Amino acid sequence: MLNFKILTTSGNARSGIIKLNNFFVKTPIFMPVGTYGSVKAISPLELIEMKYNIILNNSFHLWMRPGLDVISKFGGLHKFINWNRLILTDSGGFQVFSLSKRNKITEKGIYFFSPINGDKLFLSPEISMKIQKILNSDIVMQLDECTPYKIYNRILSENEVENSMKMSLRWAQRSKEEFYKINNKNSLFCIVQGGMFKNLRDESLEKLKEIGFDGFAIGGLSVGEPKKKMIKILQYIGPKLPIDKPHYLMGAGTPEDIIMAVSNGIDMFDCIIPTRNARNGLLFTNFGNIKIKNARYKFDKNPLDYSCNCYTCKNFSRSYLHYLHRKGEILGSRLNTIHNLYYYFQLMRKIRLSINNNIFEKFVKDFCENRKYENKF
C-alpha cells in the first residue's frame, strides 16, 4: 500500500517521500519512460547507478507485444525486464487517443484495430485493470478517455469536453471496482480531466475525491493546446489536488515545464523528452540546450557541461559526441541518453533541496537565468 508524506513546502511546491512495496521515492521525482519495457538506449543497471527508483512502462504496448502470456510466465513485468524497483504503468487511454482514427469509444470501452496486425480489439476499464494486475504494476492508472484539444483542427466545445470528462469519471469508478474485485494489492491513481475548462476540472476533481484513490494525476495537458493555456489550467487545478496524496502530471516534461509544475504542487513527472531528444542530438545542460549536430562542436574539446558528473561529461568531448551523432553511431545515442537522464535526476534533486531549504523561488530565478529562459511562472 502506498504511503505518502510531505516533508517540507515552499509556497505550493512540495518535498515529500513515497513508500511503496519496500521502496522509497523522494518527490518531486521524474520517471524515465520505458514504453515497451525498456528505457531506450540505456540499461536498468545504469538507471540504478543514477539512483532512479521508478520508471514508467506502458500497459497498452506490452499487452500488444510481447503479450500477457509471455509476461505472466515471469510472474510480472519486474522479472521480465529485470527491474527490481518500482513501475508505474499507463492504462492505455493515451495510446487509444493517438489511434483516434482507428477507434470507436463507447460506454463499455474502446473498440480499435491493433497497430501491429490490424486485429479487432477491445479495451475497457475492467480489462485495463486485469492487464495491469498481470503486469504487477506498483502504480496502476485508471482507464480514461484522454480528451484532445482539437479534432481535425477544430477545438472541442465545452459540451464535448464535458461528455468526455464524465465518461472518464464513470470509467474511474469501474476501474476502482475492478481493481479491488481482482484483489490487486498495489496502488491505483485516478486522472483529472476537463480540458481547458476550469469548471469541468473542478467537477472531475471533486467526483474523483468522492470515489477515492491513492494518487491524483492530471491528464489532458500536452495534447496540442497552447502552452499559455496549459500553464493556466495547471496553475488553477494543481494547488487544488488533495494535499495528502501524490500529484502526477502526465506527459509534460521539459525542464521548464517541470519547474513550473512543481511550483503548482506537482510531485511526479514522466516524459519521453530526455531520451528522445538524446537520440536526436538535443542535450540538456545547466546553461541551456546543446544541438550536438551543429558544426560549431566539430573541434570542441569541452565536455557537454563542466558542472555535470555523468559518465559522458567526465569522459568525452563535445567533438566526439558530434562525430558519433553525425555518423549515426549507437554509442552516441547511449552517451547522450546517459547525460540527459543524469541531468533530469540531478534537476529533481536540486528542486527537492531548494524546497527543503526554503529557497525554491531563488532556485527558479537562477534556473531561468542560467538556462536563458523567461520566467513566466
Q: Given 138, 257, 270, 305, which residue is catalytic?
A: 270
Q: Are 89 and 122 found together in one domain? A: yes
User: Domain ends where: 220, 243, 271?
Assistant: 271
With respect to residue 360, please indicate whether it lies within any of the assigned structural domains. Answer: yes
Helices and strands (H and E) in the chain: how many: 15, 18
Residue 264 to residues 130, 161, 366: CA-CA distances in angstroms?
33, 23, 18
Enclosing domain of residue 109? 3-271
129 has pLDDT over 70? yes
> What is the predicted pLDDT for the residue at 113?
85
- Please indicate, yes or no, if residue 147 is contained in any of the structural domains: yes
For residues 284 and 251, membership in a common domain is answered with no
260-311 residue pLDDT tens: 999 999 999 999 999 999 999 999 999 999 999 999 999 999 999 999 999 9
Write down the pLDDT at residue 112.
87
pTM of the entire structure?
A: 0.96
Q: Is residue 161 part of a domain?
A: yes
pLDDT band at 99 (very low <50, low <70, confident <90, very high): low
Half-sphere exposure of 292 (CA within 13 A, CB side): 34
Quote the CA–CA distance of 145 and 157 in Å, as a whole number.
Answer: 16
- Check which CATH number belongs to the domain holding 175 and give it: 3.20.20.105
**Residues 313 and 363 occupy one common structural domain:** yes
| Inter-CA distances, 108 with 72, 119, 174, 196, Å | 26, 19, 10, 26
**Annotated active-site residue in 90, 138, 267, 305:** 90
The pLDDT tens digits for 315-363 are 999 999 999 999 999 999 999 999 999 999 999 999 999 999 999 999 9
> Per the annotation, does 317 bind a ligand?
no
289 shares a domain with 248: no
Reported as a single tens digit per residue, the pLDDT across 146-204 is: 898 998 889 999 999 999 999 999 999 999 999 999 999 999 999 999 999 999 999 99
pLDDT level of residue 115 (50, 70, 90 thresholds): confident
Instruction: Say whether 310 counts as a known binding-site residue.
Output: yes
Is 94 flagged in the annotation as binding?
A: yes
The x, y and z cell numbers of residue 286, run together, are: 545547466
Output the nine-digit C-alpha cell for 273. Answer: 523528452
Q: Give the percent of the chain with pLDDT over 70.
A: 97
Residues β-bridged to residue 188: 140
368 annotated among ligand-binding-site residues: no
Domain identity same for 284 and 203: no
Do 22 and 55 belong together in one domain? yes
Indicate whether 92 pLDDT > 90: no
Domain boundary among 254, 271, 288: 271
Count how many domains the chain has: 2
Q: Does 67 map to a domain?
A: yes
Residues 297 and 266 in one domain: no
Residue 296 lies in a domain: yes
Together in a domain, 154 and 8:
yes
| Domain boundary residue, one of 217, 239, 271 | 271
Query: Quick check: is 375 in a domain?
Result: no
Please indicate whether residue 69 is annotated as part of the active site.
no
Q: What angle do CA 75, 79, 82 make, to 5 degrees?
A: 170
Tell me if residue 90 is catalytic: yes
The answer on whether 215 is annotated among ligand-binding residues is no
Considering the domain architecture, whether residues 207 and 229 belong to the same structural domain is answered as yes
Residues 10 and 137 in one domain: yes
- Each residue's pLDDT tens digit, 34-87: 999 999 999 999 999 999 999 999 999 999 999 999 999 999 999 999 999 999
pLDDT over 80 (residue 368): yes
> Within a domain: residue 240?
yes
In a domain, 377, yes or no: no
* 126/223 same-domain check: yes
pLDDT at 375 over 60: no
265 annotated as ligand-binding: no
Residue-wise pLDDT tens digits, 197-231: 999 999 999 999 999 999 999 999 988 999 999 99
Domain identity same for 344 and 317: yes
- Check whether 138 is labelled as a binding-site residue: no
Whether residue 376 is predicted with pLDDT greater than 70 in this model: the reply is no
308 among the known binding-site residues? yes
